Structure 1
Amino acid sequence: MAAPSLIPLNPARGVSDYDLLFDCVHCGLCAEACPTYIVTRCEMDSPRGRIYLMKSLAEGRIEIDDDAARHFDLCLGCRGCETACPSGVHYGRLIEGARLLVEQNHRRSFVDRFKRRAVGAIFPYPHRLRMLLAPLKLVDRFGLRPALAAVLPRMIHDWLDLLPPLEPDLRPLAAKAIIAPRTDASAVVVHRGCVAQVLANSENLNSERLLGAAGYRVVQLEPTSCCGALDLHSGNGSRARDFARANVRALKASGADAIVSAASGCSVAIAEYGDLLKDEPEFAEDARAVSSKVRDLSSLLLDAPARPKREFRCRVTYHDACHLVHGLGVREAPRKLLASIPGVTIVEMTDSDLCCGSAGSYNLTEPAMARDLARRKADNIVAAGADYVVLANPGCEFQIAAELRRRGSKIKVVHLADFLAMASQ
């Protein structure tokens, strides 16, 4: 008599899309593309190891305990493994499903619950974040942030360390279009995000002005809701879908032909609305249409007629934001755009597409691993010998800039939109 199978008739148990787990052939090519595996050298901190865990949970062979939850929590969701995978495993979808299962079935420590709830209660809501940071603007105006940090609890001190200076933003804005775009010009809308519009709004404004100067018809998005990425990455699928529905309505109403975000994580979240809302008849078709319109700023600017640029002599290294390179597959367009500026010399850094440790709110909930990855990234930046680090995601900007500040480095970290604005002045 054959031994009974360990797999029950209905094995999924809420662990992602169970059938997708079998796309993994366990070749291990993902391991060296995984930031956490590179640091820990622990199989369960690799994508392959986490997929083993997901299968074991789905098949009822293990229960969710602190160790299993820890291995899932430590994943950055960078999707470097998807680029490396020869089998096309949809790891991003799998880890989001696994995290949902953890949130529904595992009780975290008080401190962990506090951190995650604080992030979820504040970051997706720009007005709440502005209110929270209002006193810090006054502190920064008088140069008192170091004194404040010295008396704060360690966790709050570490969070404060990641915030950019909150003095008035003096970064230059790109020139507006010299001539009005044609009435038949493609319409583009910039989704301003939640954290970005509070801490890095020059990146949104410069994106809009650069697109206008390139001849696109820029339309405004009202209202702008959080894209839902933070919730998707932390296992709060219900609120992520609420945000997705609100954005689908607004983006459809905008009439835009292309959708851009200065935050690459937001771009990927919007690009996946079609899959996220595929089972909702009221939204499925519109969500697919919205997802199909997501474009990258650099790609749109390369598609536009070239405009003369003044010389801007400097050395630039480019950091590939995870979701831009692994989620949208954009690697060469930003480099081509930078190389087109007279005087700019591009120097490649080692492991330019290895995660810097920001990963949305990861550097707030997993500070130790995030700091390890920030150090690795900063080492490679310094070794490249550049004057500027250019990137396409504000979270990466804050993370890398904080590490370079700790080192007393003079290397400037600048978003692509802001760099292009400086080069056009």
Structure 2
Amino acid sequence: MAASALSPSKPVRDVCDYDLLFDCVHCGLCAEACPTYVVTRSEMDSPRGRIYLMKSLAEGRLELDDDAARHLDLCLGCRGCETACPSGVHYGRLIEGARSFIERNHRRGLADRIKRRAVSAIFPYPNRLQTILAPLKLVDRLGLRPALRAVMPRTIRDWLDLLPPLEPGSRPLANGATNSPQANAPTVVVHHGCVAQVLASSENLNSERLLAAAGYRVVRLEPTACCGALDLHSGNASRALDFARANVRALKNSGADAIVSAASGCSVAIAEYGDLLKDDPEFAADARAVSARVRDLSSILLDAPLKPKREFRSIVTYHDACHLAHGLGVREAPRKLLASIPGVTMVEMTESDLCCGSAGSYNLTEPAMARELARRKADNIVATGADYVVLANPGCEFQVAAELRRRQSKIKVVHLADFLAMASQ
């Protein structure tokens, strides 16, 4: 990181919301909550170090070189530091601003550019993702994925490992509502996301069926646009705003009283539309109204608990998806819901809220750090002796399941909605 002689008295570059940097008092309480600092023990890979780096870049005291970009790229955006911070630093906003600055002003290596552009061009668009995965569905149907994996280069092999089995009918569906909801029943819409509707459609369907059984009238969005989280995390602010506007319009028109997503990252993105679009005169008011209606599936279902038809005897541990725990502050509701199922024994894992390394597309762009965190998470899961690890985000599911498959572990990784579906059969 090359230093500059420019004065630090005021910002000379639009790196992030400069005023927010001064909320940090440099106490360091965030460090042990930061996955990358826990692994590297490098100050520049801690939230405090990255905030110092952003401030130095903004004030022109450092130049944006490969080293500076690397420390900022390595952040998972998990926001564990926000939970630990006594000063209320809005680190998520800061790192998203810095990522956008990097994309505008830094030229990455060729391989990194190709990888990031592939992710950006495919994952936010379900139709494109479905088209690309169509041959793999046939491969899975024929049981040939191990053979395909054996002949692929390492990067493609690692990406293949993250994909769940694509054969149809591999996940159970919850029973539908036994009674038609009342005409005056509250309405709910499940945002199907982009990747989730292709790779984890059962989680969306089970969410809708469980909500219907709880007495809600379920309305649908057709079609569902990407929430914009992938772009916010990777620095493509312009397209993230376009996705946010499309979703605000669609969610407003749905008339739903509550908005739910089976992907916690999507939930947080939608919950923050009010802030993201606060300066847009056409969308600001509607964005605030939409954000205020975001709810978590487990919190809603606690009001009308699932009544399983049979005892579901199993040992279950729960992984806190980062954005659910740190973005929405939801920790206890999923645990209470799981513990209410007859036969379920809950066992807490160590570091349940430490990031698993998925972080949207992070495990595709930063595979080494993602794999290290996956190993750490899997160690903690295995130590519980659980039959199931339940979580509330598809990305976490794919990441943790891939690592457990590598170990040939029998522990099953299941999304909360799918687990409740199994318990209600």
TM tier relative to shorter chain: over 0.9
Q: Distance in 1 between matches of 2:379 and 2:307?
A: 35
Cα deviation code 1:36-83 (max 9, x no counterpart):
000000000000000000000011001100000000000000000000
Q: Distance in 2 between matches of 1:142 and 1:307?
A: 38
Aligned 1:96-115 pairs, distance under 5 A: 96-115=96-115
Q: Which amino acid aligns with 1:58?
A: A
Q: Distance in 2 between matches of 1:277 and 1:22?
A: 23
Q: State the shift of 1:303 in Å.
A: 1.7
Q: Which amino acid aligns with 2:41?
A: R
Q: 1:251 is paired with a residue of what secondary structure?
A: helix
Q: Distance in 2 between matches of 1:310 and 1:217?
A: 26
**Cross-structure match for 2:245:** 245
Q: 1:324 is paired with a residue of what secondary structure?
A: helix
The answer to whether the 8 A contact 2:23-2:88 is kept is yes
**Cross-structure match for 1:420:** 420
In structure 1, the gaps of 5 or more residues are: none
Cα deviation code 1:318-344 (max 9, x no counterpart):
000000000000000000000110000
Aligned 1:370-381 pairs, distance under 5 A: 370-381=370-381
Q: Distance in 2 between matches of 1:388 and 1:125?
A: 31
Q: 1:381 to 1:107 in 2, by over 3 A?
A: same
**Cross-structure match for 1:146:** 146
**Cross-structure match for 1:301:** 301
Matched, 1:53 2:53: yes
Q: Which amino acid aligns with 2:238?
A: S
TM-score, normalising length: structure 1: 0.97
**Cross-structure match for 1:35:** 35
TM-score, normalising length: structure 2: 0.97
Q: Distance in 1 between matches of 2:169 and 2:31?
A: 40
The answer to whether the 8 A contact 1:228-1:239 is kept is yes
Q: Which amino acid aligns with 2:323?
A: H
Matched, 1:343 2:343: yes
**Cross-structure match for 1:192:** 192
Q: 352-361 vs 12-21, which deviates more?
A: 12-21
Q: State the shift of 1:310 in Å.
A: 2.4
The answer to whether the 8 A contact 1:309-1:341 is kept is no
Cα deviation code 1:240-282 (max 9, x no counterpart):
0000000000000000000000000000000000011110000
The answer to whether the 8 A contact 1:96-1:233 is kept is yes
Q: 1:114 is paired with a residue of what secondary structure?
A: helix
Q: Which amino acid aligns with 2:303?
A: D
The answer to whether the 8 A contact 1:316-1:387 is kept is yes
Regions of 4+ moved over 4 Å = none
Cα deviation code 1:369-400 (max 9, x no counterpart):
00000000000000000000000000000000
**Cross-structure match for 2:178:** 178
**Cross-structure match for 2:228:** 228
**Cross-structure match for 1:209:** 209
Aligned 1:267-416 pairs, distance under 5 A: 267-304=267-304, 307=307, 309-416=309-416
Cα deviation code 1:391-423 (max 9, x no counterpart):
000000000000000000000000000000000
The answer to whether the 8 A contact 2:305-2:337 is kept is no
Cα deviation code 1:74-104 (max 9, x no counterpart):
0000000000000000000000000111111
The answer to whether the 8 A contact 2:12-2:60 is kept is no
Query: How well do the aligned residues superpose, as a CA RMSD in angstroms?
Result: 1.2
Aligned 1:80-95 pairs, distance under 5 A: 80-95=80-95
The answer to whether the 8 A contact 1:149-1:160 is kept is yes
Q: Would you say how many aligned residue pairs link Structure 1 and Structure 2?
A: 421
Q: 1:389 is paired with a residue of what secondary structure?
A: strand
Matched, 1:263 2:253: no
Cα deviation code 1:113-144 (max 9, x no counterpart):
00100000000000000000000011111111
Q: Which amino acid aligns with 1:6?
A: S
Give me the identity figure in percent: 84
Q: Distance in 1 between matches of 2:98 and 2:268?
A: 19
Q: Which amino acid aligns with 1:177?
A: A
Q: 2:259 is paired with a residue of what secondary structure?
A: strand
The answer to whether the 8 A contact 1:310-1:341 is kept is no
Q: State the shift of 1:177 in Å.
A: 0.7
**Cross-structure match for 2:169:** 169
Q: 1:373 is paired with a residue of what secondary structure?
A: helix
